[in-house]
Structure 1
Amino acid sequence: MKISAAEVIVTAPGRNYVTLKLTTDEGVVGYGDATLNGRELAVEAYLREHVLPLLAGRDAARIGDTWQYLYRGAYWRRGPVTMTAISAVDQALWDIKGKVAGLPVYELLGGRAREAVTVYGHASGADVDDLLADVARHLELGYTAVRVQAKIPGMDSTYGLHTGPNIYEPASGALPKEEVWNTAAYLDFIPTLMGRVREEFGYGFHLLHDVHHRLTPIEAARLGAALEPYRMFWIEDATPAEDQSAFRLIRSHTVTPLAVGEVFNSIWDCRELITERLIDYVRTSVTHAGGISHVRRIMDLADLYGVRSGSHGPGDISPVGLAANLHLDLAIPNFGIQEYMGHRDPAAEVFDWGYRYENGMLWPSDRPGLGVEFDEEAARRFPYDPKYLPVARLADGAMHDW
């Protein structure tokens, strides 16, 4: 069975998504998510101009060989654009293989290791009281794990806050929004915030927080130590992880669990972190790290060192990408938790996904393949809408990590 046609479709039903459609000469269609927030058209162009011409006539069943062909066959390896494009092809081929077999992809990965996947939701607020109300709402919805973010007093804007009833989406505007960051205010506020959450709701649920790469290693160590009384499930992305060895310093000062990896795109980005047990959870996602085939290798390595999965899964991953992550989550032995935000309206007009949220978990469908269908006619009603992620500066105007 050969790949006979390939197409990249960019659509914006609530936010921008890039979807790859592969069709075989037997009429089987597979879909892959190629969304890279704020750089969607870079992946679309890489696929259309450099990848799709290579796929025509290839055996759709040879997933591993195609992966190696696209990775090793390109002298310029790795990077988010390349690996997101490879991921989309990989997902689509797994989708085709499942449909041909008449089985959901998790069955092809060895079958379920669990019945459903525990997820964490995102609670936020414009102040502490607003945040506490949102935590209460999540607990009422059945979440057993909640990430909390709140506006930092004295700062005009803060990462991770919902705008009204909408799912959090940081990308906006034709040019990047500039935000001002104050590390001292943040470090003073966050331990107090976590204390209020535990005082109000107790310890009967998992509590998570995203630092979003804002701190130096020693600042992250200070934060981790200050949060130890509140039994965090993790602090996420405590410091930029280009220098994996930086986590040695953090690890030496705190026992607060550490999670990192949503911006990683290959096993090489996290090899040191995993093999030296410098993190507890690796957050690579199927969409951004080479697809099911490559992320499975990352999770296999992590399992050898007691590191669990905690894959990235916000609104900027399409239902196809989230489904692909869900299939892998179901099959691996070292699953930890899955990020879940749902999807902004009117995403359901374009994507028909079979998984469902219930009682703090995502439950898979038994549809063959990845279990997500795509309505191309509906997609055409929602043209691409250029948006950028924000940037951050310090009060003196110097650039900072966003």
Structure 2
Amino acid sequence: MTTITEAKVLITCPGRNYVTLKIATSDGVTGIGDATLNGRELSVASYLRDHVCPLLIGKDPSCIERIWQYLYKGAYWRRGPVTMTAIAAVDVALWDIKGKRAGLPVYQLLGGASRDGVTVYGHASGEDIPGLLDEVGRLLDRGFRAVRAQAAVPGVGTVHGVPEGQRNAGEPAAVERPLVEGWDTGRYLNWVPRYMAMVRQEFGHGFHLLHDVHHRLTPIEAAHLGKSLELFRMFWIEDPTPAEDQEAFRLIRQHTTAPLAVGEVFNSIWDCQYLITERLIDYIRTSVSHAGGISHLRKILSLAELYGVRSGAHGAGDVSPVSFAAALHVDLSVQNFGMQEYMEYLPPCQEVFKTTWSFEDGLMHPGDAPGIGVEYDEEAAARFAYDPKYLPVNTLADGSVHDW
């Protein structure tokens, strides 16, 4: 019987921090999984190194579901971002191994392709409306069929914590201590419809338009925003309110027909069960790396399919190319695919992660290399030392902390 002989945690920072799990088997096959949790990377690294990796030695790598349940149920303290990110890394690495041993890309193991390619959306962010329009035009010229539009609110500050000059560089985390940013909901609600109108006026309705609220509104404020954006035929409004209060989405639904997307901070099927079964959302944004890997994400999407909810997986720069490639395999195979987020990685990243995916005419494909189609260059990774970073913190004018 083939067994797992080694499991090691690799940390690198080619532009931003990534944690990678590498598993080796007794027949010489290796697989990799993404264990990155933005701003809390070392927590997952420790969880894997100190608690999970020793338990993997000697296990049969082909028993993916059994190992998943062993790590989930066996820990007793279930769920949560650290645990589920660690399990996801193991799960994706085992799918990578299974694909390599079978000589097939992972999407073929998941039932084959349901479509020719995966529609992705790019990020267009600007300090002002002209800057935003330039970015939208740049993405459309490159062939994107969908664009997320964000512009800094005048007098408030940055766009979701992205530093100056790095609008499309993968949303780096903040500096060694959390950057404190300001927020003003009233200005935001007045501003967004203005620049969405300019985007549609400039470029028309021949592409999908998306917007990320980043959990910053109350339910009634989110309803007001959705109603004000209906004229611009949004593909979705993302994370309108903090998702802990799931019943809040019912109120939003009562006041707007704008499609709703949520879930990038969810970690399990239990986090989104109510939203899906009550049809309170249109797109579920759980990611491979933060929701237990390919195995668990498939279960979430199978539930979602029964209720007409489609996928919209998180794919910003805080997931490594390993996780993004795994997402493409799932996207290509599931019937209820909706949209895939895609942020181009910082140039040093390509030195560490060698990918096989392709982008053409707004569609991406994971490629047909066995496994997930990503190789990790340990020598290159060693050149980029871990760099402690944190995500920003939002405050209102009176100094009180607000959702970022």
Same fold (TM over 0.5): yes
- Segments of 5+ residues of structure 2 without an aligned counterpart are none
Separation of aligned partners in 2, 1:162 and 1:10: 23
> Aligned AA for 1:137?
R
What's the counterpart of residue 344 of structure 1?
Answer: 346
Q: Give the 5 Å matches for 1:71-150.
A: 71-150=72-151
| 8 Å Cα contact 1:221-1:251 kept in structure 2 | yes
Q: Secondary structure of 1:89's match?
A: helix
Separation of aligned partners in 2, 1:47 and 1:350: 21
What's the counterpart of residue 33 of structure 2?
Answer: 32
Separation of aligned partners in 2, 1:139 and 1:119: 12
Shift >6 Å, 4+ stretches: none
Separation of aligned partners in 1, 2:311 and 2:234: 16
> Aligned AA for 2:230?
E
> Aligned AA for 2:242?
P
Q: Give the 5 Å matches for 1:161-310.
A: 161=162, 163-164=164-165, 166-310=168-312
| 8 Å Cα contact 2:263-2:285 kept in structure 1 | yes
Separation of aligned partners in 1, 2:247 and 2:339: 25
Q: Secondary structure of 1:155's match?
A: coil
TM superposition shift of 1:98: 0.3
TM superposition shift of 1:168: 3.9
TM superposition shift of 1:358: 1.4
Separation of aligned partners in 2, 1:163 and 1:355: 29
How many corresponding residue pairs? 402
| 8 Å Cα contact 1:124-1:162 kept in structure 2 | no
| 8 Å Cα contact 1:170-1:390 kept in structure 2 | no
TM superposition shift of 1:162: 6.5
Q: Secondary structure of 1:365's match?
A: coil
| 8 Å Cα contact 2:313-2:341 kept in structure 1 | yes
TM superposition shift of 1:154: 1.2
> Aligned AA for 1:325?
A
> Which stretch shows the higher mean deviation, 60-69 or 356-365?
356-365
> Aligned AA for 1:299?
L
| 8 Å Cα contact 2:34-2:289 kept in structure 1 | yes
What's the counterpart of residue 19 of structure 1?
Answer: 20
What's the counterpart of residue 334 of structure 1?
Answer: 336
Separation of aligned partners in 1, 2:32 and 2:164: 31
TM superposition shift of 1:159: 1.4
Question: What percentage of aligned pairs have identical amino acids?
Answer: 66
TM superposition shift of 1:316: 1.1
Q: Secondary structure of 1:213's match?
A: coil
- Segments of 5+ residues of structure 1 without an aligned counterpart are none
TM superposition shift of 1:290: 0.1
Separation of aligned partners in 2, 1:163 and 1:100: 45
| 8 Å Cα contact 1:43-1:84 kept in structure 2 | yes
Which deviations, in whole Å up to 9, do the C-alpha atoms of 1:327-357 show, x marking residues without a partner? 0001100000100002111011111000011
| 8 Å Cα contact 2:5-2:24 kept in structure 1 | yes
> Aligned AA for 1:99?
K
Which deviations, in whole Å up to 9, do the C-alpha atoms of 1:305-341 show, x marking residues without a partner? 0000000001111111001100000110000010000
Q: Secondary structure of 1:233's match?
A: strand
> Aligned AA for 2:299?
R
Q: Give the 5 Å matches for 1:46-57.
A: 46-57=47-58
Which deviations, in whole Å up to 9, do the C-alpha atoms of 1:12-67 show, x marking residues without a partner? 01110000000001110000000110000000000001101110000000000000
Q: Secondary structure of 1:20's match?
A: strand
Which deviations, in whole Å up to 9, do the C-alpha atoms of 1:104-153 show, x marking residues without a partner? 00000000001110000000111101111110111000001000000111
Separation of aligned partners in 2, 1:335 and 1:233: 14
Which deviations, in whole Å up to 9, do the C-alpha atoms of 1:75-112 show, x marking residues without a partner? 10000000000000000000000000000000000000
Which deviations, in whole Å up to 9, do the C-alpha atoms of 1:144-182 show, x marking residues without a partner? 100000011111323165732651424121100000110
